[in-house]
Structure 1
Amino acid sequence: MPRFMGFVRMEEGIGAPPEALFKAMDDYIGKEAGAGHFLDGGGLYGTEDAVNFVVEKGQVTRVDGPYAEAKEVVGGWALLRYDSLDEAIAGQQEFAQLHATYWPECKVVATLRQISEAS
């Protein structure tokens, strides 16, 4: 059964999502977990405490947040399992629709990517 990674990107510093979205997400995640689709996931803190390690020209440099140039940041993630790509796409669209319904003033990009199972 293929695995997928879902990401939510949004503008940083826009405030907390509405309580109604949290409730809808709890219901959705409960339903998806019960069906064996939602394996793990969660929200992420802002970039104020983020640490990046940049590899360039054979050198590793540590860069601490916050990052003034960041307009969109990954705000959440999910590890998912579906029988098919079409099923995964439908699940991610339903997830995105929750944001459109319960937080319409926020621009959210919900990305779905299949996880490579290659060794």
Structure 2
Amino acid sequence: MPRFMGFVRMEEGIGTPPQSLFDAMDAHIGERAASGVFLDGGGLYGTEDAVNFVVRKGEVSRVDGPYAEAKEVVGGWSILQYDSLEDAVADQQKFAELHAEHWPEVTVISTLRQISNGPDAPGD
């Protein structure tokens, strides 16, 4: 059964989402957890405590947050499992629609990526 990683990206420092979005997401995620679709996930703190290790030309350097150049940050993540890519895409759209309905004043990018099980292409 294919597994996927979902990301939610948004502008940092835009405030707290409305309670109605938290409530809708709790119901949405609860249903998917009960059915075995939602395997794990959670929200992320801001970049003020983030640490990046940058590899450039064979050298490793550490860069601590916050990152002034960051326009969008990953605010949440999930590991999901679906019977098909089509099911995953349809459900990710429902997840994005929760944000459109409950927090329409912000721009949110909801990304879905299939998790690789090896060197083969997705779906192989």
TM-score (norm 1): 0.99
Name stretches of at least 5 consecutive residues in structure 1 with no aligned partner: none
Give the aligned partner of residue 111 of structure 2: 111
- 1:2 equivalent to 2:40? Answer no
Distance apart, 1:35 and its partner CA? 1.1
- Cα distance in 2 for residues equivalent to 1:11 and 1:106: 8
Query: 1:78 and 1:24 mapped to 2: Cα distance?
Result: 16
Separation of aligned partners in 1, 2:23 and 2:3: 25
- CA distance in 2: counterparts of 1:64 and 1:48, whole angstroms: 8
Map of 2:34 onto structure 1: 34
Report runs of 4+ in structure 1 exceeding 4 Å deviation. Answer: none
Q: For residue 74 of structure 2, give the secondary structure of its aligned residue in structure 1.
A: strand
Aligned-partner residue type, residue 64 of structure 1? D
- Deviation string, structure 1 residues 22-75 (Cα, Å, up to 9, x no partner): 000000000111111000000000000000000000000000000000010000
- Unmatched 5+ residue regions in structure 2? 120-124
AA of the residue aligned to 2:97: Q
Query: Matched residues in 2 for 1:60 and 1:47: separation?
Result: 20
% same residue: 73
Task: Tell me the number of residue pairs that the alignment of Structure 1 and Structure 2 aligns.
Answer: 119
Give the structure 2 partner of residue 102 of structure 1. 102
Q: SS of the counterpart of 2:21?
A: helix
Taking structure 2 as the reference length, the TM-score comes to 0.95
| Aligned mates of 1:33, 1:103 — CA distance in 2 | 23
